[in-house]
Structure 1
Amino acid sequence: MKIEEIDAIQYKDNQAQNVKENVVQDETVTLTINGNISRSLSAIEDSLKEFAIGYLFNENMVKSLNDIKNIEIDGPQIRVEIDDTLLKTNETVLCSDSAGGWRSKIKEVNPVESDFQVHVSELIDRIEELKDNAEIWQATGGTHVAGIVYDGQFVVKEDVSRHVAVDKVIGYGILNGFDLNHSYVIYSGRMPADMVIKMTRAGVPILASNAAPANSGYNIAKKGNITLVGFLRGNRCNVYNNQNRVIFD
């Protein structure tokens, strides 16, 4: 587990004491694409192949695994080779995450057509299961956690970045033959446009979270036919857009 113990002073109930605290170990991970496009970000150094694949799909750089020619991972360095013609023709290549200036990069939103449905009771159970499987978060409180659900399979990844956590689970699904059109992503974090656009690009019809959607995320969900499930806490949730995908017991 990527955890380090550090010294701290804890103040509680009008008393201060020396304690040991756990923190997550993050690294500067660099993804280099075709030798000339580079992205550096803080992330946990695991599941980097899944992250790279998820990133390429979620940033609209590739459409299939056949578009990825090679992936090499050397510690925190990831080098990928993809079909160069995609880079020359793709207007959304420059990164949809908030640090990359996504608002000016989202040129088009392709609607996700899917008849997939999920029971609300399953979503309520999964958000609890998500927390139970967030081992690093439980030990440190320093990560986001994301899961992908397909045909009874539930895979969970953690990272200091909510974007990277989601990229990792989508990349896992692609690598392992998940039908993303009949899957859903559930994670800890808000749902602004930079997160919802990942669903449209990967073809995932439902994004669920314990947090709230932003107006920008709702607008992308409307354009991309994505169902958002927010405030998934305890025995409650709100469902936004194409509510027919959620079955209420």
Structure 2
Amino acid sequence: MMKIEEIDAINFKNGKPTDTKEKVVKDETITLTINGNISRSMSAIEDSLKEFAVGYLVNENMVKSLKDIKSIEIDETKINVEIDDTLLKTNETVLCSDSAGGWRSKIKEVNPVESDFQVSVLELIDRIEELKDNAEIWQATGGTHVAGIVFEDKFVVKEDVSRHVAVDKVIGYGILNGFDLNNSYVIYSGRMPADMVIKMTRAGVPILASNAAPANSGYNIAKKGNITLVGFLRGQRCNIYNNQNRILF
């Protein structure tokens, strides 16, 4: 499926305008419907939609594991899922943390992630460069966020116009492919506010690394959820926030 299109543009450089063609990422409105009555729509790239659905359901606390998902049906840009109906009766299910819903200030419960997983800071420095090297759509258009999940020797990268969707896709991939999320980490391009860090606590991922900065809200969720944040991962430097023992120097 074509994920990149060319559009007409005018390039202005050195005082001179020139007609040109520019590559842009092709996104669609993706609609996720849960049990026929809860619907979410968002702009996203039309690929890895099963991974997205699984990651979204776990990261938004609608299910606890893959066994709570009864079915996933994908019809082009529409995703229909059936989950255990009893899970829809909890407050946390309705009050999702995604930024589109603006729910991050309403997160009531954060369960700490218990994990002794550790990773070398040198590996993280290498992985952020590898992440950029694998961001093919971003390299062509500059229009995507890129996220990766690392488990043992496996490193899987997904791109999307939404940082939330990119992270949902890699976590969903990990769940579908038997990754031990307690012994994995997520590395991605984007800030680390509460609505992103809460995804890690719900999925059980102990480390979130980024080339960008944490927000105070994200740091507070990281403390409550026992998540290690690695920010400003650029070149040969980074900052480590909370439970720094997980990072080996």
Q: Given the two structures, how large is their TM-score scaled by the length of structure 1? A: 0.98
Give 1:67-106 correspondences, 5 Å limit: 67-106=68-107
Unaligned runs of 5+ in 2: none
Give 1:144-183 correspondences, 5 Å limit: 144-183=145-184
Partner of 2:190: 189
Tell me the secondary structure at the aligned position of residue 140 of structure 2: helix
Q: Contact 1:92–1:105 (CA<8 Å) still a contact in 2? A: no
Cα deviation digits, residues 94-139 of structure 1 (max 9, x gap)? 3211121223431100000000000000000000000000000000
Give 1:103-142 correspondences, 5 Å limit: 103-142=104-143
Which has the larger displacement, 91-100 or 37-46?
91-100
Partner of 1:225: 226
Q: Contact 1:205–1:225 (CA<8 Å) still a contact in 2? A: yes
Offset at 1:91? 2.5
- After the TM superposition, list the runs of 4 or more consecutive aligned residues in structure 1 that deviate by more than 2 angstroms: 89-94
Q: Counterparts of 2:158 and 2:66 in 1: how far apart (Å)?
A: 21
The one-letter code matched in structure 2 to 1:145 is V
Q: Contact 1:183–1:206 (CA<8 Å) still a contact in 2? A: yes
Tell me the secondary structure at the aligned position of residue 190 of structure 1: coil
Partner of 1:38: 39
Q: Counterparts of 2:221 and 2:180 in 1: how far apart (Å)?
A: 22
- Length, aligned pairs only: 248
Q: Given the two structures, how large is their TM-score scaled by the length of structure 2? A: 0.98
Which has the larger displacement, 87-96 or 4-13?
87-96
Partner of 2:236: 235
Offset at 1:86? 0.4
Q: Counterparts of 1:193 and 1:104 in 2: how far apart (Å)?
A: 8
Q: Counterparts of 1:128 and 1:71 in 2: how far apart (Å)?
A: 34
Q: Counterparts of 2:105 and 2:121 in 1: how far apart (Å)?
A: 35
Q: Counterparts of 1:8 and 1:90 in 2: how far apart (Å)?
A: 47
Q: Contact 1:211–1:230 (CA<8 Å) still a contact in 2? A: yes
Cα deviation digits, residues 203-247 of structure 1 (max 9, x gap)? 000000000000000000000000000000000000000000000
Q: Counterparts of 2:68 and 2:106 in 1: how far apart (Å)?
A: 21
The CA RMSD over aligned residues, in Å, is 0.8
Offset at 1:90? 4.2
Give 1:2-21 correspondences, 5 Å limit: 2-21=3-22
Unaligned runs of 5+ in 1: none
